[in-house]
Every structure is written in structure tokens, then in C-alpha cells.
Amino acid sequence: MKIRNLTLFFCLIALYCNAQNKLGGIGQWREQYSNYNVQQLVMGDQLYVASKHQVFTLNKSNEVDFLGKSNGLHEVGVTQIAWDKIQSQLIIAYNNSSIDIKQGDQVYLINDLTLSNLYASKKINHIYIQGNWAFLSTSFGIVVLDLIQHEIKDTWFPNNNRQNAVTYQCAVLNDSIYALTENGLMICPLKNNWIVNNQWQNKSSFNGLGLTKLHNYNGEMYLYNMHQIFKSSQTIALLNYPNGNIQKLSNDKTGLLLATQYNNKGNILRINTDYTTNSLIDSTELIAPFDILEDGTNLWVADTVNGLLAHANKNTWINIGGPRYTINGNVAIDESNFITPYGNNNGFGVYNESGWHHYTQINSVKLPLLNSSAVNPKDGSYWMGGVNQLIHVSSDFQKTESIILNNHNGTITAIDFSKSGNGWALQDQQGLIQQQNNNWTSIAAPANFSFSGLHKMIVNQQEQAWIIAPNNQGIYVYQSANYFPTAIWKQLSTSSNNGNLPSSKVTSIVEDATGSIWVGTDNGIGIFQCGDLTKEACNAFIPTLSNNGFNGYLFQKETINTMAVDGANRKWIGTNNGVWLLSSDGYDILAHFTQKNSPLPNDTVFQIIIAPISGEVFFMSANQMVSYRGTATKGSNLQNTISIFPNPVAPDYNGMISIRGLIENAIVKITDLNGKLIFQTRALGGQGVWNGKTYEGNKPATGIYLVFVRDDTGNEKGIGKIVITKGR
């Protein structure tokens, strides 16, 4: 192998992105979406920006605030937004055709289209506000939405035979509604903002031109497709743009503007009075501009690759926050940083208390596609795997080296370290690689083992590498000679005397705090507690649960996509039916989150990562990532300082109060200043949780309360104070 030392400083392609939802209290959620695919801009009481996944706002200080299921919205995946200036409310249309209307702190859900079976496709292509109505251009016609009553009033079909017609966009000019449809341009008179029945007229001279967008400017209706712009009053194109695609026609104070794309480059053009164009913002800044908006101070550009640009005296990219790309790699975490290879995009992201940071280059040397990551507990450095190579990054992100695996072709799909700091890597097509004396060496395996499709592995406390075998062949286990005296390979199957797996299709694997190996399959979970594989059989115990008088295996017939263990040794289980929280032994279901009862964007969860200090649980779903503030954290070895959140406790706060930094499984007592005990609990790992009420169920009076901690040896000391700002 070849090691290329690069003692270099990391360079960032983008600015640090510190915008993010703040970490809330116990039980609070926050979205961790990739929002750089910005696609629409709307000016209301502030600037509203729609990415592919959610809406965020930008105030006059350019501070970003996110709207999502965690703070009142109902869905994920945005198609269109619009601002109703009369009622001061935001209309949001989603991929599933549901609509949210956000007015102040109230959010009104309109899901009639989602529930309807009348139309094969119900996509909302555009929203146009006219008085107290919103005209929704859909894949079957125009839906009229009452913006006062927050309900659907009617459906208009832009023809005179009430047949479905794909409607791309509509707008109003001179008391007539103009609708661009699959049948061309349709125009109908309006009376009191309502159509006159059976008076739709087809302006046939525009048929067959593929016109899909409208822009009402200076008393004229402009129509355009990807390459041409027309006025509705004439049939000759005003502007031809054959070498690229027209994305948006808009205007500022001085005239018309055009957002265009060509060969992965973008441009904002100003249209002159003779319909020639001049470049205003060119491809040195833009890749894929999709929308433009002028607010009197800035010209805002939505770029579906690079995010949000403010153009005034200079160009400024707004720090949006969130991961730079959708996460497709295996994530690692330590006490300070959340490390995520992007998988399908070059480089990796780092998330910590200061927000998201994106690394795509090392001093002009482009980082490769990275698929896996791990933290070496011995020195805190980070390792990431790509195709035929490992990237090693120092704990301060200042130095890196690239380790080329000569004569070994295949992607590093998993990396893990034992507690002693010994490194292991899983390479698809090749097998297992072990780090010995700073060298990475392949470990020979039995000839009958298949290595095509390797993707998951863990290394346990006993220096055994547990590998999900490809092609539904159970598990491969390699026992090294680092812990037990003899090295050996073993394959575990569904055989009752050789693995006892609930299914040969293994999907996930994790080690818990006691050293037990939990194995997830497409038919539930098996638990291994094995010693030296050369001396004893290694068979799974399959928990049997009783439910309504029927006995069944744990998660029988359920596919276990991922598992994680929190600070209290409880198990978080990701499936195709949401996320489950189990007790440490797996016999009790403590919580079940789905997209219906939580901000989960999708019920299919592929990866769960838990931050040891904060207890925040990250869920990578089929639709982006969200996180949840859990009740358990990693316990401390010594009882020193603690953190209490929130503190002081505000008068209107009704959530959980967390006491973090405790010694593992400590007993927590809360007393008043006179020593009267008002609450006692046991920490979950390193965190105690108090609901802010006394044993009698009452809120305590205003004052200062003391926190005492006792470990299992009986040592007790006062370590904190909680200030209650208002009593009953």
C-alpha cells in the first residue's frame, strides 16, 4: 500500500454554515435537512425560501429560521409556496398534494386533494393569489382555495367540456385568467374573481410550443418555454435562447430579468428594451439558478445546487445550515463531532455545537467520494473510506493522509475500531483488512466465503469482527488473536446448532453495553453472547414476547434496517415502519415514532446515530435526516460539574428538565432549601429527567431547589441548583 502524507490545512468550498434549529429540551425534534437545493423565493412579512424538502425564512439581518414538522407544519417535500398579503399568511403545497396555510402561529391543514381518489395525479404545479382566493394549477385543472375560510371552494377545468387538463400555471390580467395547459393557452373572463362558465378560449397560435410558465409585467402577459419568450399579444418570439434553458422570467425596478442554465452553468441576464441580453450574475457564481426575486435592497437568486445568493454591491451566499448534500454514507460520532461522508458527493460534513461544516477539498486537492467513517478512540482521529483508499484525518481537522490500498479494488464500506484502538476495515469485493503496526493488511478468509456485496461490520470488545454476509448467507465472524489466543473464521446461519439466526438475510448489527451482539434480520432480532469461538458454540437467543395471549419473536416478520444503543443501554430500532425504542433487555416497547405521530419525514429509517453527551438521536430516513432529544446520555466516570436545561425554568415551560453529566445510573434527588425531598429518580446513563412537578403532581413554588447525586457506592453530594421562576 502507499501512504500519501498531506500535512495541510483543510479548505472549505463553502462558508461555514452555522444556521440551524437550536437544540431543545427533552423530547424536542429538529430537522437536519440538506436545503441547498433552493427552488422558490417569495416575499411576505420576510423572505420565504422553499428548498426541495422544507421552507425556511430570512429576516432583515439574514438570520435563517426553519419551518417544518418539528414546529407545526404537517408534511415534508415542498412543491410550491405563495404569500397572501391580504391575510398575511403563507401557503405551502407539498408533494403529496396536501396544503398548509401558516398564519402567525397557527397552521391550517387542507388535505382534501391528498384524500381524494378522483384524479390519478394531483400534483400542484403553481399557486397564484387573486384577492381572497388562491388558484392552484394542478395536473387536472385549477383548484380554487378560499384564503379566509381555509377550504377548497371549486375546481375549474380550463376548457368548456369539464375534462381534466394538466395546468402548468395561471395568472390574471385585465379581468381575465390566463392558463397554460397541456392543450395550450386558455383564456377566460373573470367576474368578481370568478370565471364565467363555458367561456374558455384557446389561443391556438400558441399551441404545440411547450409553453409552461407565465409572467405578468407592465400590463403584458409573457409566456415562455425552455428556449423562447412570447407576449400573449403577438405570436413571434421576443427572445430566443437556443443554447440553454430558461428557468425563470422575473423583473426588478428597471426591467425584465432572466435566470438561465446551460452545461451545468448558470446566468442571470438583464433583458434590454430591444430584447438583447446582458449578463448580470454569471457562471463564476451560479450553477443552477431556478428563481429570482428583487426586494428593493437585494436581488435574491435561488440556485438548486449552491443555495441562496444575495446580489447587491457584491454577491453573498447565505449560510443556510444543514448537511451540504443528502447523506448516503455511514456516519460516525464522538463526544464532539458528528462525521458524515456524503457517499454520492465528494467530501464529508462535520456537525457540532457551532453548526455544520463542509469539507470538499484539501488545499485545492479534491476529496474523493467517501462512504464510511469511524473514530479511533485511542487518539480521537477520524477515518473515512472511499474506493481503494482510506482517508485519515486528525482530531483537530488540520492534518490528513490518504492510504492507497494497492492491488485491492473495491469500496471501503465499513470501518471500526476496538476499544484498544486497533483498526478494521471492510472492503467490498475483497474482505476484511486489519490495521497492524500502522499498516493495513488483508486477512485471508475461507475460499467458500463470498465478498461481493459486503456493506456492514462491527468489531466487539473481544476483538471479533462481525460481518453481514452478502447474498443472504447469515454472518461471517472473524475472531482475531488480539483477545482470545486463536484466530478463526466462522459462518453463522439459521441452523439451531450454528447461529440460530431468525433469518439468513441479516440487515443490521450492533454491540450493546454488556457486550451482547444484537443482530437484525428481515424476520426480527437475535441476540448473541459468545465467547471463544474455538471452544464453544455461538448461537443466538431469540426473545419471545407475549402480546394479547399470542407468543412471537421480537419484531417477527419485520425488517430491521438499523439499531443503536443509548447511554442507558436501551435499543433504538429503525424499520420500514418507523423507529422503536426498547428497554435494555428488549422486552418493553418504550416509544414508537412514525411520520404520523412525529416529525419523522419517512417511516423507512436506514441509520440511527446517538450523540453520547447530549443524548440527541439522529435518524437517517429515506427522506432526509431529523433528530430527537432523548432522555439518556453517556454516564461520566467521575461526578464533577453538571448541566441543567432549562435553568432557570420559565413560567410557561411544561417540558422535561434534564440534568446531564451524571455518573452512570446515579440516583438523583431534588430538594427545597430546607432539605425536603420533592422528587427522586435514577439517571438514564448519565442524564436524570424531571417533569418539573412534585410527587403530588404539582408545580413547585417559585424558588431555588437543590440537586443531589448518589452513586451505587453510597457517596452523595450536592452538585447543582435549579431556579423555578413561578409556582402554581
pLDDT tens, residue by residue, 223-271: 999 999 999 999 899 999 988 899 999 999 899 999 999 998 999 999 9
Question: Can you give the pLDDT at residue 5?
Answer: 39
Tens-digit pLDDT profile for residues 365-382: 788 999 999 999 999 999
DSSP 154-180: EEE-SSSS-----EEEEEEETTEEEEE
Question: Can you give the pLDDT at residue 661?
Answer: 87
Indicate the CATH number for domain 643-724: 2.60.40.4070
Query: What integer is the mean pLDDT of 567-589?
Result: 95
Q: How far is CA 165 from CA 125, 159, 187, 203, in A?
A: 12, 8, 14, 15
Question: Can you give the pLDDT at residue 19?
Answer: 53
Which of 659, 664, 656, 661 is closest to 721 using CA atoms? 659
Nine cell digits for residue 697: 403532581
Residue 6 has pLDDT above 70, yes or no: no
Nine cell digits for residue 575: 424499520
- In angstroms, the CA 436 to CA 265 distance is 47
Which of 79, 191, 218 is closest to 137 using CA atoms? 79
- In angstroms, the CA 213 to CA 233 distance is 16
Tens-digit pLDDT profile for residues 675-719: 899 999 999 988 999 998 888 888 888 899 999 988 877 776 768
Question: Can you give the pLDDT at residue 585?
Answer: 92
Query: What integer is the mean pLDDT of 193-215?
Result: 94
Residue 156 has pLDDT above 90, yes or no: yes
Q: Residue 476: phi, psi to the nearest 5? A: -100, 135
Share of the chain above pLDDT 90, in %: 72
- Does the global pTM surpass 0.85? yes
Tens-digit pLDDT profile for residues 587-606: 889 999 999 999 999 999 99
548 band by pLDDT with thresholds 50, 70 and 90: low
Any residues with CB less than 8 A from the CB of 603 and at least 6 apart, and which? 575, 576, 577, 578, 594, 595, 621
Which of 675, 673, 723 is closest to 702 using CA atoms? 723
DSSP 245-314: EEEEEEE-SSSEEEEEEETTEEEEEEEPTTS-EEEEE-TTT-S-EEEEEE-SS-EEEEETTTEEEEESSS
Q: Do 117 and 132 touch, CB atoms closer than 8 A?
A: no
AA letter at 59: N
Tens-digit pLDDT profile for residues 86-106: 999 999 999 999 999 999 999
Domain borders along the chain are 1-28+339-442, 166-240, 643-724
Residue 10 has pLDDT above 50, yes or no: no
Nine cell digits for residue 337: 463531532
Share of the chain above pLDDT 70, in %: 95
Tens-digit pLDDT profile for residues 506-546: 999 999 999 999 999 999 999 999 999 999 999 999 988 76
- 166-240: CATH topology is N-terminal domain of TfIIb (2.20.25)
Q: Do 92 and 53 touch, CB atoms closer than 8 A?
A: no
Query: What integer is the mean pLDDT of 334-339?
Result: 92
Query: What integer is the mean pLDDT of 606-614?
Result: 93
Residue 319 has pLDDT above 80, yes or no: yes
The CATH class of the 1-28+339-442 domain is mainly beta
Question: Can you give the pLDDT at residue 396?
Answer: 85
516 secondary structure, DSSP code: P
Q: Do 30 and 616 touch, CB atoms closer than 8 A?
A: no
Mean pLDDT, rounded, of the chain = 91
Any residues with CB less than 8 A from the CB of 86 and at least 6 apart, and which? 131, 132, 147
421 band by pLDDT with thresholds 50, 70 and 90: confident
